[in-house]
Chains A and B, each alone.
Chain A
């Protein structure tokens, strides 16, 4: 058991974070990653910061008011479909 923990480095861990979050790690790898995470505060903080980053990015969307072009698109539809 402890060899698996010893084998994974933090440098490897940070490259597996997205696969971990996306649920795309093979079972054996996931166990290894989670074992490392349980032992390593730095990597636990890193994973937490990636999740905070994702939440922060999602909030960028709240600040937009996006569907401004709806009426223009529908007007184009009416015009082009009529003249077809």
Chain B
């Protein structure tokens, strides 16, 4: 973290502590969208996500006087949100479509990006090279913006292991940088990248199944 960020944090914390509403509003404007998206990675509806975000702000206001600055202000806020969202998500799990798909490997780190059977085996002509290579998608820009592809992506995201879903949400939906996502989620560089890699691979695979079946492949 840079010196500027530390100084800015200190000033912002001091301002919020003394009741400076404009300073607090600035933080609310900056973080409400990413916090809401992250909450939606855990809870089944927008209404519940809004409640989780509101509870988070109340937690920030109540806790700011005791905040010791061991992490950055934003990291602290994201951790409050994640604790709220994860426990709320646990409670409402039965209503979520992906609850039946619990995995042995919650971070899903040992899965290949592409199914092994897409590649040639050891006895193939070119072992490890494509047996069934991906086929280019027709009009991808238009079709990716359509409702059907949107549903495919949302379902694929809902089926991701929790940590992958969090990283994908901040990086690819919210558009956070790797560093911003690492700080928000308290992940190492490598872990952030591995989780993102697995998550993107699975959304691509879901889109491929969808486009291939539409094309009759």
Contacts and interface: CB of A to CB of B under 8 A. Distances in A.
B36 A74 contact: no
B61 A10 contact: no
Judged by DSSP, the binding face of A is: helix
Contacts of A60: 150, 153-154, 173
A46 B134 contact: yes
Interface string A35-53: 0000011110110111011
For chain B, give the interface size range. 35 or more
Nearest to B190: A24
Contacts of A54: 172, 200
Contacts of A67: 29, 32-33, 36
Contacts of A9: 119, 126-129
B200 A73 contact: no
Given A66-B36, A69-B53, A76 B150 contact: no
A66 B33 contact: yes
Interface of A: 9-12, 14-15, 17-19, 22, 24, 40-43, 45-46, 48-50, 52-61, 63-64, 66-70, 72-74, 76-78, 80-82, 84
